[in-house]
Structure 1
Amino acid sequence: MRPRMDAGLVPGALVAVIDPERGTLTRAYGTADLASGRPMDVADHVRIGSVTKTFTATAVLRAADEGKLSLDDVLERYVPGVPNGNTITLRDLLGMRGGVWNLDGDPAFAEQVISKAPTAEWHEGDRLRAIIAHPEKATPPRTETTYSNSEFYLLGLVLERVFGKPVHEVVNDVVAAHGLDNTTYPTDASLPVPESRGYSYFDEAPTDVTRRNTPAIFGAAGTMVSTISDLAEYAGLLGRGDLLKPETFQSRTQFTGDLHYGLGLAQFGQWIGHNGAVLGYNTQMGYLPEKNVRLAVAVNQYTTPPDLLGAVAATIWFAVIRQLYPGTVPDGQTNAPPNPPVPTVAELDSQLQRALDPAVPASEKALRVAGDDKDPELLTRLASALARYSVTTRVNRVTELGPGQLLATTTVTGPNGVRPMILPFVVRDSSWRIDTSWACANLADRTSAACV
């Protein structure tokens, strides 16, 4: 927990493990409120982001079980005007296969999550208007599985139409049926007490964004609030198909695409569950059917774009699982050779400066990218891309996480100011190399053979 928190600039974290054979562990780490210094507490409420989607999906699936709707109904029946709405089915939306524009590229929406001080407030209905106004952004349904918050936002509108009441009431009925006392779909930006404050980095210092997440921004895709104990308990209810007919749950767990996504449910190796991220908060929870184990992690820092500081809750969740339940999630470091010596901050900083200097030939750089055997010029291309925008990097911390894993916590200076960034390294040929996915994410065009 602590090395990943420190490397990822996370003030506080929560973890809960429920194992019928080994017992239950619920623990808090770090700080809930940087202003007061109050420690994190296991009773703290946190935003759970896209874990909300699992509740929304359950509400839709229950409605189908009760005959209130059909999963083969087209969206147009409930929400008119959406591009391709006459061919997109509710099943498509549940499985991230509707082709609905995710709005990440909409400047007005993006400002809500990437700006320290948005110039305008996002209101209820703005999302639907943006989706309808840009039919050219839609793709045909059922062609691929692509993550889209918009699809679950629309499902929230479907639920309102079917039940004749606000979506928060519909979803909170599901919460009550599960018996979760500390989980809720709020109607405003407040959290129940006790609360953990949430933090994001728009510059060098963390900004308190606890009240930035209104229901109008993510709706039924990411608005809910819970505690770590409720999250862990819920992972089992979700993973066992609570509230649903067996055949409905079987349909829910048909996972597709690179996302391994079902109907409002994701697969992570042998685990099923979901992750979530909104400004200031990041969560990951899952259920291991073979052992009836539930495991949840939440942290109170999340920064966009996510390639700056990553999804720390997920990295902690996977690390805990690899310690306690090895072999149940993919592990790229199986039988990894011993780690090479860990460079000091000064050593890695010097190496990184030369690596990201486009004037230094690749043959003279001490650092390499892990996948550069497919593209020997990958590092040069990366250096040129960063130099084009006058981006410079300074290493502040080096953290060894385990076999084949090293993180450099850096400060990046660029056209948008100064911000922290995590740079991951892996072991290749007995040396530390820049992670290929990080290098590809920062290329200007991503056309390298190493990024395919």
Structure 2
Amino acid sequence: MLFRLFTLAALALPLPAIAQSLTPAESAQIDTLVAGSLRDTGVPSASIAIVRGGQIVFAKAYGKPSETIARADPALPYQIASISKQFTAAAILLLEDEGRLSLDDTVAKYVPGVTNGDRITIRQLLSHTSGLQDYWPQDYSFAAMATPVTPQQIVDRWGKKPLDFEPGTQWQYSNTGYVVAGLIVEKVANQPLLDFLQQRIFKPLDIRALDQDKAIGKGFPQGYGRFALGPVRPETPSAPGWLYAAGELSMSARDLAKWDVARLTRTTLPADDWAAQETPIRLVDGSTNGYGLGVSTGTTNGRRYVEHSGEAVGFLSENIVYPDDQAAIVVLTNSWFSDAVGRISSGIAKIVLPPPAANGEDAAALPRARAVYDQLRTGTLDRSRLTEDANFYFKPVALADYKSSLGALGEPTGFAQTGRARLRGGFVNRTYRITYPDRTLSLSTYAEPGASGRYEQFLVAPSQ
């Protein structure tokens, strides 16, 4: 269950929520993106869900879920692995709301025998700052995983080793810490962790969540692996017990998106619980990497996100929420050998998230760039808008190719800046995304500074 923070193409400053469903063009782009990603990587299948405007607007599956299920089905539950951690953390927060425990209680109060348990707090378990050694850092199933295990056996083998560091002084991903947290939930709630989650979270949200150990075999997605560039092969699942509170859940992409909607609307859990989960934990030296309680938080190009990925035997998953945009993206796949999850999630972000909020200079540059683009696609280029070098680049053959290839596409459906302007070589570099119903193009420009600066570069290329 390797923690992977995919740096998605979150392309702009936050804008008001979009309330509409996906357009046919957007849906077609997503179909092309996912199909291409599966084809290029060899990943057998993917299940996708998208939230926009605080509502689930898209849920679709692609490819082959297993050797016995040939047809994709968005209702199938995929193993979400470490994305489950935010549910374990939510259980702890709900118990704290009831006064049955405190995040600042020590582990020793509930689970005896853990190394330095009298100095490790529940908060440190949930934020990966406890110092407990991770029992599964590998991206493969090691020998012991062929044998069933209990949470206590995991604690006995890994939770009683010397700490890797003094609690609160470092951040290190630890599945072991979440196993201990799960045991605390069960002791305090006096019921199995999954039963508690079903009662308090899944049933209220109409989520079908399964123990991943039982979501195996005929009727469920099969996990797949690959040795280097060899053939794609079905993986043998781990024996029961190895995921537990660190990653025990299977559910569909749509059902996980229901949880994302609850996060966006601050329902099901009290609002202060959501806030607590999303507040980055600081080490004793005051530093933080953005991880809160079961989720990672941060900002990319001005857009806030709340995120977690997951890895189980033969499965990779990604769940990322954009609070200011009232949007979320869920990508579940049945392989653990490629970057398909990141490629798909970042590609979807480019398609469905709001366009950039431009500053004054960017806002003025946009229509100038669009005007030159329209000139190129119609063969009416005003060369006074170009520098000497750019005029050299646009020889007759270049102009002819631009006109014939771009003119055939017709009028663009979208023309938006991506990312922020930056200085390079004395010029202002801006990039744009140009969309058509069946394809997307990228435009890279370098222009002289100022409102009437000439273009040193104006290059159009295909984009995902």
- After TM superposition, the score normalised by the length of structure 2 is 0.62
Cα distance in 2 for residues equivalent to 1:120 and 1:43: 29
Q: Determine the C-alpha separation between the residues in 1 that align with 2:54 and 2:278.
A: 26
CA contact (8 A) 2:280 2:297 kept: yes
- The correspondence of residues 423-438 of structure 1 with structure 2, limited to 5 A, is none
How far did 1:147 drift? 1.5
Aligned to 2:330: 296
Partner Cα separation in structure 1 for residue 211 and residue 69 of structure 2: 28
Q: Do residues 218 (structure 1) and 250 (structure 2) align?
A: no
Identify the residue that residue 276 of structure 2 maps to in structure 1: 251
By how many angstroms is 1:132 displaced? 3.7
What is the CA-CA distance between 1:258 and the residue it aligns to? 6.4
Structure 1 distance, partners of 2:146, 2:306, is 38
Give SS of 2:319's match: strand
1:108-187 to structure 2, matched below 5 A, reads 113-114=140-141, 120-124=146-150, 125-135=152-162, 137-185=163-211
Amino acid at match of 2:351: Q
Q: How does 1:52-91 map to 2 (within 5 A)?
A: 52-91=84-123
TM-superposed deviation, 1:50: 0.8
State the match for 1:45 in structure 2: 77
Alpha-carbon separation, structure 1, partners of 2:202 and 2:59: 23
Distance 1:55 1:215 in 2: 20
Deviations 1:126-181 (A, max 9, x none): 3111124421x532111122221111111001011111222222222233354233
Q: Is the 8 A contact 2:56 2:258 kept in 1?
A: no
- Indicate the SS of the match to 1:130: helix
1:300-339 equivalence runs, <5 A: 300-303=334-337, 309-310=338-339, 312-325=340-353
Aligned-partner residue type, residue 349 of structure 2: I
The size of the alignment, in residue pairs, is 319
What's the secondary structure of 1:39's corresponding residue?
A: coil
Q: Aligned ranges for residues 184-263 of structure 1 at < 5 Å?
A: 184-185=210-211, 188-191=213-216, 194-202=219-227, 204-209=230-235, 212-256=237-281, 259-263=289-293
In structure 1, distance between residues paired with 2:167 and 2:93: 20
Contact between 1:113 and 1:279, CA under 8 Å: does it hold in 2? Answer: yes
SS in 2 for 1:220: helix
When normalised by structure 1's length, the TM-score is 0.63
- Residue 428 of structure 2 corresponds to none
Q: Is residue 96–residue 148 contact of structure 1 (8 Å, CA) maintained in 2?
A: yes
Q: Counterpart of 1:276?
A: 310
**Distance in structure 1 (CA, Å) of the matches to 2:147 and 2:290:** 34
Q: Percent identity?
A: 24
Q: Structure 1 residues 45 and 24, CA, compared in 2 at 3 Å: closer, same or farther? A: same
Deviations 1:26-57 (A, max 9, x none): 22111112x34602211111111011111111
Partner SS for 2:324: coil
| Cα deviation 1:236-271 (Å, max 9, x = unaligned) | 213444333333332222124664211112225312
Classify 1:258/1:177 alpha carbon distance in 2 versus 1 (closer, same or farther; 3 Å). same
Structure number with the bigger relative contact order (C-alpha 8 A, sep ≥ 6) is 2
CA distance in 2, matches of 1:402, 1:258: 37
The separation in 2 between residues aligned to 1:21 and 1:238, in whole angstroms, is: 10
Q: Which amino acid letter does the alignment assign opposite residue 231 of structure 1?
A: L
Listed one character per residue, the Cα deviations across residues 190-211 of structure 1 (whole Å, up to 9, x for unaligned) are 34984222112247233323x6
1:352 is matched with which residue? none
1:269-304 per-position Cα deviation (integer Å, ceiling 9, x unaligned)? 31213221111111111222223223211111114x
- Maintained 8 Å contact 2:90/2:273: no
Cα RMSD (Å)? 3.1
Runs of 4+ in structure 1 off by over 6 angstroms are 401-404
Q: Contact 1:285 / 1:296 at 8 angstroms: preserved in 2? A: yes
Bigger radius of gyration among the two: 2
Structure 2 CA distance for aligned equivalents of residues 319 and 25 of structure 1: 15
**Unmatched 5+ stretches in structure 1:** 304-308, 329-400, 405-429, 431-452
Q: 1:191 to 1:266 in 2, by over 3 A?
A: same
Matched residues in 1 for 2:349 and 2:441: separation?
14
